[in-house]
């Protein structure tokens, strides 16, 4: 290992050219990161919302070490098969002995922010690509700052003070009480406002009639899905992506059920409850 491995002057932040995201070049995540490099990554994440690292051949422990630079990696709330490193959560359609080894299958997953059905949702998520299908399975991120900022002033005013219920369709995933969050949240670190609703987990606007709620949510979902807010990532094996769930929503495209996709996921939670 060269003395200056992962030094700040070797690190490059290359924006995707899309509405969010940057590729980080010059770092090798099999080695520890010095503090100033971590700080620069943290800043880059606040600026670009999603960071991509390519060609990383990392172990589970190295993924957890990387995750811990940004907070505390914790075991996912969903139970999974016994595994050597419990902070690693498998996102996969692969079955072993008739049991899925991971979560989320092969279908389309609409836009969502991770774990928004909890009072304290996920803050940052990290996915590491281990095995990929030959087609499909791309992940798309929406820049929810940009989506909010582009709303017309009347609609922005209408959203003020509104809250929406977020709930998982697998009922056992949910806490006993209904969880609601502001429709527009302020990012605690940047102070910027971002739209915080998505078709996968957001159910209805508190206090609205069903018709009024679905009309407004449909309008917001259509708005945020516009290409001008969305960046698509076509995965390569050994890609690692970290994203900020407080200013982005993501979705995954389906892939053939006959093909295998294995991703390793780590998670950081926020101490803060989302606020407007
Ligand atoms: C997730 C998720 C998408 C993907 O792990 O939260 O949405 O591309 N995954 O696997
Ligand atoms: Mn997700």
pLDDT over 70 (residue 9): yes
204 - beta bridge partners?
Answer: 165
Mutation pick for ligand 1 pocket among 90, 245, 250, 268 (CB with most ligand atoms within 8 Å): 250
44's enclosing H/E stretch is helix 35-48
Provide long-range contacts, Cβ within 8 A and 24+ apart, for 219-226.
219/155, 220/183, 220/195, 221/111, 221/197, 223/147, 223/150, 223/151, 224/111, 224/142, 224/144, 224/147, 224/195, 224/198, 224/249, 225/111, 225/142, 226/147
Which of ligand 1's atoms lies nearest the C-alpha of 109?
7
Question: Which residue out of 91, 121, 142 has the highest number of ligand 1 atoms within 8 Å of its CB and is therefore the one to mutate?
Answer: 91
Tens-place pLDDT, residues 71-86: 999 988 788 888 899 9
For the annotated catalytic residues, the residue numbers are: 112, 114, 250, 265
pLDDT tens for each residue of 45-76: 999 999 999 999 999 999 999 999 999 999 88
**Domains of the chain, CATH where assigned:** 1-269 (3.60.130.10)
Q: How far is the CA of 196 from the centre of ligand 1 (A)?
A: 17
- What are 131-153's pLDDT values in tens digits? 999 999 999 999 999 999 999 99
For residue 79, what pLDDT is reported? 81
Q: Which residue has the higher pLDDT, 93 or 1?
A: 93
Of 70-84, 140-154, 205-219, 230-244, the least confident: 70-84
The DSSP element (H or E) to which 91 belongs, if any, is strand 89-92
Residue 91: CB within 6 Å of ligand 1? yes
As separate numbers, helices (DSSP H) first and strands (DSSP E) second, the chain gives 5, 19
pTM for the full model? Answer: 0.97
């Amino acid at each position: 290992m060269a003395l200056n491995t992962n030094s700040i002057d070797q690190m490059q932040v290359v924006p995707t050219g899309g509405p969010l995201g940057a590729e980080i070049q010059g770092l090798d995540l099999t080695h520890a990161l010095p503090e100033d490099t971590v700080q620069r990554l943290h800043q880059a994440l606040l600026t670009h919302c999603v960071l991509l690292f390519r060609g990383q051949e990392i172990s589970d422990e190295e993924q957890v070490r990387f995750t811990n630079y940004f907070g505390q990696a914790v075991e996912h709330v969903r139970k999974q098969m016994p595994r050597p490193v419990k902070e690693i959560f498998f996102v996969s359609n692969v079955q072993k002995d008739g049991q899925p080894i991971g979560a989320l299958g092969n279908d389309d997953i609409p836009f969502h922010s991770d774990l928004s059905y909890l009072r304290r949702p996920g803050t940052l998520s990290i996915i590491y690509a281990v095995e990929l299908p030959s087609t499909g399975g791309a992940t798309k991120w929406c820049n929810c700052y940009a989506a909010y900022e582009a709303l017309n002033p009347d609609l922005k005013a209408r959203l003020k003070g509104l809250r929406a219920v977020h709930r998982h369709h697998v009922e056992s995933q949910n806490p006993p009480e209904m969880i609601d969050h502001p429709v527009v949240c302020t990012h605690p670190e940047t102070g910027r406002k971002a739209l915080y609703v998505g078709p996968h987990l957001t159910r209805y606007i508190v206090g609205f009639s069903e018709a009024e709620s679905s009309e407004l949510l449909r309008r917001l979902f259509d708005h945020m899905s516009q290409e001008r807010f969305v960046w698509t990532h076509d995965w390569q094996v050994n890609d690692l992506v970290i994203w900020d769930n407080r200013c982005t929503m993501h979705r995954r495209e389906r892939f053939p059920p006959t093909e295998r996709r294995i991703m390793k996921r780590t998670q950081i939670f926020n101490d803060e409850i989302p606020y407007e």
